[in-house]
Amino acid sequence: MVQINKMLIELAEKRKTTRKFTQEKPSLKKILDVLEIARHAPSGSNKQPWRFIVINDSKVKALIREASEKGEKKFYKTISKKRRLAYKAMGNTWQKPMLEKAPILVAVISDTKAPNYRPSVWLSIGYIILSIEAAGLSTVTYTPSDPDIVRKALEIPDFFQIETILPIGFSADPKRKKPRKSLNELVFKNQWNKLLAKQ
């Protein structure tokens, strides 16, 4: 018997955030195969409040980059120099070249009329992230600082909301996966702050 649980953990462990991609274009068929998993996710009252725009047109990518960077510039003006430098050390600035350079973007959009739409859509993004890795592709969950600017640029009605833009392609990002906390620090037993590990 194949140990699906072991394979799943290994997949999640191997997966890392990618902001640089090779020029190779994944086919639209491959992107649809990746998104197929989202259909099967649970959602509040089974409303399936997720929509996707698959973008491979350079003009639309440039538009999304421009709209996103407009929001980022506004955001970076509101934060302290210290925080800005901390972000820079992590490789984050207001500039989002990946939105133009990734071969494919997938905009994940939520229907704000559905109950619990944000949790539902983000749970499905968890599915998609693993599915992207399983397909040998890479991504980063870019959440625009001002999603409304991007929504308007894409002429999406205002009761929908941009949750993330996923730049997708084959990784050319040399960065290593950031370290993670041990489960021993994160899991309590029967009450807050009573570590399970210490039992």
Footprint on residues 134-173 left by a copy of itself (CB under 8 A): 134-135, 140-141, 143, 154-157, 163-164
Q: Which stretch binds a copy of itself (CB under 8 A): 45-53, 65-73, 94-102, 168-176?
A: 45-53
- CA dist 4 and 130 (Å) reads 13
* Cα 114 from chain centre: 21
> Is residue 118 within the footprint of a copy of itself (CB under 8 A)?
yes
- Which listed residue (21, 26, 48, 71) binds a copy of itself by CB under 8 A? 48
- Any contact of residue 45 with a copy of itself (CB under 8 A)? yes
> Degrees (nearest 5) of the Cα angle 89, 17, 141?
100
Whichever of 15 and 25 has its CB closer to a copy of itself, that residue is: 15
Q: Is 93 in the site for a copy of itself (CB under 8 A)?
A: no
Q: Which of 16, 2, 3, 50 is nearest to 177 (CA)?
A: 16
Task: Give how far the C-alpha of residue 37 lies from the chain's centroid of Cα atoms, to the nearest Å.
Answer: 15
Stretch that binds a copy of itself, among 65-73, 95-103, 123-131, 167-175 (CB under 8 A): 123-131
Are 150 and 162 in contact by the 8 Å Cβ rule? The answer is yes
Among 25, 53, 93, 94, binds a copy of itself (CB under 8 A): 53
Number of residues that bind a copy of itself (CB under 8 A): 74
Which amino acid makes up residue 23? Q
CA end-to-end span of the chain, whole Å?
33
Q: Using the rule CB under 8 A, which residue among 1, 24, 46, 80 binds a copy of itself? A: 46
Residue numbers 72-91 binding a copy of itself by CB under 8 A = 87, 90
The rounded Cα 197 to chain-centroid distance in angstroms is: 31
